[in-house]
Amino acid sequence: MPEPALTVLTRFGGAGPLSRLLGLDRSAVHRWALPKSRGGSGGLVPAKHHLRLLALATAQGVTLSAADLVGTANVAGEPPKAGADDG
pLDDT in tens, 63-84: 999 999 998 654 444 555 555 5
CATH number at residue 20: 1.10.260.40
- Whether 51 maps to a domain, the answer reads yes
Give residue 20's domain range.
5-69
* Domain presence at residue 86: no
Give residue-wise pLDDT tens across range 7-54: 999 999 999 999 999 999 999 999 999 999 999 999 999 999 999 999
Kindly tell me the burial class for residue 3, based on how many C-beta atoms sit within 10 Å of its own C-beta (0-12, 13-18, 19 or more). Answer: middle
Count up the domains in the chain and report the number: 1
